Chains A and B, each alone.
Chain A
Amino acid sequence: MTLQPLLAVNALSCERGGRRLFSPISLSVLPGDYIELIGANGSGKSTLLRTLAGLHSQFTGEYRSQDALYQGHRLGLDGLLTPLENLAWFAGLEDHTSDHETTLNALDRTGVLTMAYSLCGAMSAGQQRRVAMARWLLSSRKLWLLDEPLTALDASAQDLLRDVIAEHCAKGGAVICATHNAIAIDGKSELILDASIAETLP
């Protein structure tokens, strides 16, 4: 039985401000894959992830993707809501409901259970990242697109992040992660964005 790819990319190259960012890439992401996106600053890692999430439409080539979970630099947490309310909203967005118990367990796992009822706006950057991680745990999306997920995380949270990603891959999900600090996960592959051909388009 062949696995259905979660994402198929064919000769994709992103453009931004009239410049092509990297040489065209092709890849097929299967369930269980962990792909680390590597490239210098400005090589288009974030733009590639935004493109795959459907937020950026200036590109050549093509891709086919299932509904993905996208985590950008902005976390998508409303500062005026508590983690519980934010997570309930995310669940509604993806059209599934998560019961109170499951949500609390996810917050417990990411170590912010004690903050469950305080406003996200009053939390530290790292704590907000942990709440965002709880959202990944609750999501039903198979393909995760993570942009610099290690930002602002302490050592224990970095270990947690590695476990969460490994677990997700083991359950048949796939993760594409743009990062400058390698995350130690078995069987990972690297995708290097080659910005040397960056050229100004006519």
Chain B
Amino acid sequence: MIRGALVREWQVLLRAKGAVINPLAFLLLTTMLFVIAAPDAITTDEASAVAPGVLWTLVLLTQLLALDSMYRRDFDSGVLEQTLVSAQVPFVTVLIRIFMQWLSTGFIMACLGPVLGVMLGLSFQALPATALALLLGTPALSLLGSVGASVTVGFNRGGVILALLVLPLFLPTLVFGADMVMAAQAGRSVMPQVYALSLISLVALALAPFATLAGLKISLEMQ
């Protein structure tokens, strides 16, 4: 069953490339807009204080954009209800879905992190920490976001409610993520933030799949 679910997710990912490309294009564009709108911010010393926060905020918004469609296709086609009716362990299917969502957004954003850092004028010594911070922090975004996506999937326009639901949950990741980039830039140790981000992601991993499953059941019951 695990293999079947993985194969399906992979095939869908290959055929719906827009789901991967669109959020990334959004991230690159908004970063560029910021650079164009505030060119002084990246040439002066102030830049270093603003850039980590801007980078992380844009990552959050990109994740939000991708989350809205996380379960929608499966919900509309009936794949979701078949999963809940027939699957021996729906939990595993949910976990695989979240993992693939992270792989197609968070992971790629982490790889792109250094590029975005350069665009925003981060110092070179902060670039590896930027990638690491995104790598450790984005799983929490996918996991917590999945909970929000699961309860809003039944709404026609769930996007706004989704934002209101999950952005507060993203706050700890945002705080420690941006702080980690800032610490690396100032040459301080980043280990405290590494632990904090890992902890947030691990706690989310322990709780979010169950909450997602419950959310999906509620959504399927409402219609």
Contacts and interface: CB of A to CB of B under 8 A. Distances in A.
Contacts of B7: 85, 88-89, 92
A78 interface: yes
Interface in B76-91: 76-79, 81-88
A95 B2 CA distance: 9
**Residue of A74, A89, A93, A141 most packed against chain B (CB within 10 A):** A93
Interface string A64-91: 0001111011111111110001001111
How many interface residues does chain B have, given as a range?
A: 20 to 34
Contacts of A141: 86
Given A78-B12, A80-B16, A89 B81 contact: no
Contact of A55 (B4, B79, B220): B220
A60 interface: no
How many interface residues does chain A have, given as a range?
A: 20 to 34
Contacts of A70: 81-82, 85-86
Interface of B: 1, 3-5, 7-8, 11-12, 15-16, 73-74, 76-79, 81-88, 217, 220-221
B86 A80 contact: no
**Majority SS at the chain A contact face:** loop
A91 B4 contact: yes
A55 B81 contact: yes
A146 to B, nearest CB: 13
A92 B221 contact: no
Contacts of A81: 8, 11-12, 15
Given A74-B76, A78-B8, A85-B11, 12 more contacts: A53-B85, A55-B85, A55-B221, A57-B217, A58-B221, A73-B78, A76-B81, A78-B79, A80-B12, A80-B15, A81-B15, A93-B4
